[in-house]
Amino acid sequence: MEGQRERPPASRAKKPAVKRTTTDHNGTVGAPSHAGNCGPQRGARSRRAKRDGDPTEKPRTRARPGQASMPITDQRSSATGAAGVAEQPASPELQPPAHPEAPEVARGPSRRRGARSVGQLGAPRASRKDLKGTPEGKLKNVLKKLKLKRKEISKAADVVNEVVKHLLTSMKNRESEFKEVQPLNTGSYYERVKISAPNEFDVMFKLAVPRTQLQEYGDTGAFYLVAFKRIPRGNPLSHFLEGDILSASKMLSKFREIIKEEVKEIKDRDVCVEEEKPGSPAVTLLIRNPEEISVDIILALESKSSWPISTKEGLPIKNWLGTKMRTSLRREPFYLVPKNAKVGDSFQGKTWRLSFSHTEKYILKNHGIEKTCCEVGGAKCCRKDCLKLMKYLLEQLKKEYQELEAFCSYHVKTAILHMWTKYPQYSQWDPKDLSSCFDNFLTFFVECLKTEKLMHYFIPKFNLFSQELIDQKSKEFLIRKIEYERNNGFPIFDKF
């Protein structure tokens, strides 16, 4: 394995141990290693710098032989080059992904410890006291507090599974247009990037549809009008046709009506359906457990046709996860959710929006260029840690400032996917460089805000930061808040 070296034979002569203080390349005390991690290498200054004690020496990010390193924070990333990396051949051993569907809520990660590879030297542990005052230490402390507790995960998962199972069973047993729906778990909980508490879940109720014909609506490539190439006799969805077009709003309205009826039959749980939000594709349930758990039930049409032409240049993972993986993922079904296109101050009720949340879930779970990245016994990276920190930063800022209402965690997830594409190597996401990696991500995100360009990861011509979606004033406000936090050591992280 790259980065491993044999342990030197123990010296037979007994010499008194010399205590040494280990510092990383930023001059701060090295972070502690964890079971299952490949031990991080100790950073070292040049001998001349060490003798002279030059306080102005800039930190350098080390790269392994043959690998490019992520630029340090004074080398600003460009938002327009998010996917611009040199192409590398895909691994011939790369296997097509299994179908990402999971019928039930997972009950939390396994607690087994990963075994350290034979012959690999571990980095010396620094004391918590030494780490506490460093940027690295503060970020790791935040991540520790954000980590979900296993007992809470299991408790919430059992409740959600119970409610979802009741709804699915009821729909199968009643004569309706949604008799054949199947579950598809998506969202941050199933991607293992949920933070703070297991109180929000997204569950798709997918419905396979016969051969469809899509007509792009607008110029974003994200919204479509759906028609059937051939309508078989007795097709229950014909009730929702307006002319030849399948109305998303009509179908969602009936879906909501059935969900509300079935929720009333749940007697052993305190469950209610929240009021409909304009433009939202979800039917939101509120479960009091006694803590509140929000569950978004999202109707999704499953299409097994080729992905729409607007996605042809999307999913730029060839140089990161490989060409074979990209081809395999694009052979999976795509989904259409009843998210209406906005027209001025109203919504076009017939339109559906493309959804690739199932593919995003797969990528987040299999995010490393090395197959064993973050697996038990494999090397750990800080990719998902940076995502969690940025999600939490935006979440906390939104609690304090109404001006940030237009921003959401999907913007953060899209930005991090572009970052992972731009910097695919493990060495560029080494856990011991968490602070600099997070700062690089902030630099990239701020640059996207300044240029007003954050392109959809699967639909390259769909700009999530366009003026039509988010006004410039809101973007400038978020830029100022992010810069204030990073320049002052993230005081908002102390507000737990």
What CATH code is carried by the domain that includes residue 472? 1.10.1410.40
Give the whole-angstrom CA distance, residue 39 versus residue 380: 9
In a domain, residue 76? The reply is: yes
**Residues facing residue 493 across a β-bridge:** none
Q: Is pLDDT larger for residue 79 or for residue 314?
A: 314
Among 21-25, 151-155, 181-185, the least confident range: 21-25
186, two tokens: 């998506």
Domain co-membership, 282 together with 254: yes
* Averaged pLDDT, 332-338: 94
75 neighbors 60 (Cβ within 8 angstroms): no
Tell me, yes or no, whether 281 lies in a domain: yes
Has residue 311 got a pLDDT over 90? yes
Residue pLDDT, tens place only, 435-484: 999 999 999 999 999 999 999 999 999 999 999 999 999 999 999 999 99
Lowest mean pLDDT among 63-72, 317-326, 483-492: 63-72
CB of 297 within 8 A of CB of 259?
Answer: yes
What's the average model confidence in pLDDT over 183-212?
Answer: 72
Q: Say if 256 falls within a structural domain.
A: yes
Looking at the structure of the chain, the number of domains it has is 2
Domain assignment present for residue 415? The answer is yes
Q: How many CB atoms lie within 10 A of CB 460?
A: 17
Q: Say whether pLDDT at 27 is over 80.
A: no
What are the distances in angstroms from CA 103 to CA 97, 165, 342? 17, 9, 33
Letter string b/e over residues 38-59, b meaning 16 or more CB atoms within 10 A of that residue's CB: bbbbebebeeeeeeeeeeeeeb
Same structural domain for residues 306 and 244?
yes
Maximum CA pair distance of the chain?
90
Please list, in sequence order, all residues whose beta carbon lies within 8 angstroms of the beta carbon of residue 99, skipping any fewer than 6 positions away.
332
Residue 96, both tokens: 């097509």
- Residue 125, class by beta-carbon neighbours within 10 Å (0-12 exposed, 13-18 middle, 19+ buried)? middle
Q: Are 393 and 482 in contact (CB under 8 A)?
A: yes
Same domain, 163 and 269: yes
User: Is residue 358 domain-shared with residue 317, that is, in the same domain?
Assistant: yes
Q: What residues pair up with 341 in beta bridges, in sequence order? A: 348
> Does the pLDDT value for residue 329 go beyond 70?
yes
Tell me what pLDDT residue 136 has.
86
pLDDT of res. 45: 42
CA angle 200/381/128 to nearest 5° reads: 85
Of 338, 366, 394, the position where a domain reaches its end is: 366
pLDDT band at 224 (very low <50, low <70, confident <90, very high): very high
Confidence tier at 139 by pLDDT (50, 70, 90): very high
Q: Does residue 273 carry a pLDDT above 60?
A: yes
In this structure, the answer to whether residues 328 and 408 fall within a common structural domain is no
User: Picking from 147-151, 308-312, 319-323, which range would have the lowest pLDDT averaged per residue?
Assistant: 147-151
What was the pLDDT predicted at 232?
62
| Shared domain check, 385 and 291 | no
* Distant-in-sequence, close-in-space partners of 169: CB < 8 Å, separation ≥ 6: none
Q: What is the pLDDT of residue 176?
A: 85
Q: Which range has highest mean pLDDT (5-14, 175-184, 420-429)? A: 420-429
Share of the chain above pLDDT 70, in %: 69
The SS3 assignment for 484 reads: helix
What pLDDT is recorded for position 386?
A: 95
Same domain, 359 and 417: no
CATH of the domain at 340: 3.30.460.90
| DSSP assigned state of 93 | T
Mean pLDDT of 210-232: 88
> Omega before 59 cis (within 30°)?
no
What phi, psi does 329 have (nearest 5°)?
A: -65, -35
270-273/245-246 β-pairing: unpaired
Same domain, 269 and 347: yes
Same structural domain, 289 and 211 = yes
Q: Which amino acid is at 84?
A: G
pLDDT average, residue stretch 254-280:
91
User: Token match 């980095």: residue?
Assistant: 123
- Domain termination residue (choose one: 313, 338, 366): 366
- pLDDT, residue 89, reads 41
Instruction: Kindly calculate the radius of gyration of the chain based on its CA atoms and give it in whole angstroms.
Output: 25
Residues with Cβ < 8 Å from 266, sequence gap 6 or more? Answer: 163, 166
Same domain, 173 and 311: yes
Q: Is 242 left (phi over 0), alpha (psi -120 to 50) or beta?
A: beta
- Count CB neighbours of 35 within 10 A: 11
Q: What is the mean pLDDT of residues 338-363?
A: 88
Q: What is the pLDDT of residue 332?
A: 93
Average pLDDT (320-344) is 92
The residue count for the chain: 496
- Strand, coil or helix: what is 285? strand
Q: Which of 366, 394, 414 represents a domain boundary (last residue)? A: 366
On whether residue 299 sits in a domain, the answer given is: yes
User: Is 94 part of a structural domain of the chain?
Assistant: no
Mean per-residue pLDDT over the chain, rounded: 76
- Relative to beta strand 200-208, strand 292-303 is parallel
Q: Is 267 exposed, middle or buried (0-12, 13-18, 19+ CB in 10 A)?
A: exposed
* pLDDT value for 26: 42
* pLDDT band per the 50, 70, 90 thresholds, residue 353: very high
Confirm whether 460 is domain-assigned: yes
pLDDT at position 183 over 80: yes
CA atoms within 13 Å, Cβ hemisphere of 171: 25
- Both 428 and 447 in one domain: the answer is yes
* Of 118, 110, 138, the residue nearest 29 (C-alpha): 138
CA dihedral 61, 66, 68, 69 (to 10 degrees): -10
Encoded tokens for 432: 């011991």
Region 151-176 average pLDDT: 85
Asked whether residue 58 is domain-assigned, the answer is: no
Quote the CA–CA distance of 154 and 152 in Å, as a whole number.
6
What average pLDDT score do residues 369-392 get? Answer: 86
Q: Name residue 388's amino acid.
A: K
pLDDT of residue 328: 95
**pLDDT bracket for residue 377 (50, 70, 90):** confident
What confidence score (pLDDT) does residue 31 get?
39
Q: Contact 37/380 with Cβ under 8 angstroms?
A: yes
Range of lowest pLDDT (82-96, 260-274, 438-452): 82-96
* 268 DSSP 8-state letter: S
pLDDT above 80 for 371: no
Beta bridge partner(s), residue 303? 334
Same domain, 313 and 451: no
For residues 73-90, average pLDDT: 40
Place of tokens 């996605």: 311
Q: Which domain holds residue 306?
A: 148-366
